[in-house]
Amino acid sequence: MMFIAGIVLLALGLGCGALLLLIPMGVVVGNAGLALWLLFPLFAVGGYFLAASAAEDRNAAALSRGTGAVLMILALAAAVILVLHAAAILQPQGSTLSLWYVLVLGIVLGATGLATRPDRARPR
């Protein structure tokens, strides 16, 4: 049950990060308010810890790498949008601050997750 709860929270956290990208682009109608800003890292990290603590070691490593990959994709999408905005090719609706937020958190948390090596630190 703890694994499922962690996966649900993790998915909600990653969904909050995606909304922080999509709302300023006008793809999704909404408001990238403070709740999304807080829930993105809280749910992503908290959900990851819940799921990883209930998973077996090799599954926890796969969860870390998968979560890191999704976070890195969110960060790279934010970087692309920011570059296109800087070149005046794309005009986000409103502030680009949420894009910078997703870029920074996505790179930091994503790189951490991708750095996980399964069963390499433990001698057999």
- Using only C-alpha atoms, the chain has a radius of gyration, in whole angstroms, of 16
As given in the structure block, the two tokens for residue 103 are 């870029």
Q: Which of 1, 44, 2 minimizes the C-alpha distance to 19?
A: 44
As given in the structure block, the two tokens for residue 50 are 């819940």
pTM over 0.85: yes
For the stretch 23-73, pLDDT in tens is 999 899 988 889 999 999 999 999 999 999 998 877 888 999 999 999 999
| CA dist., res. 93 & res. 24, Å (int) | 5
| CA dist., res. 38 & res. 99, Å (int) | 14
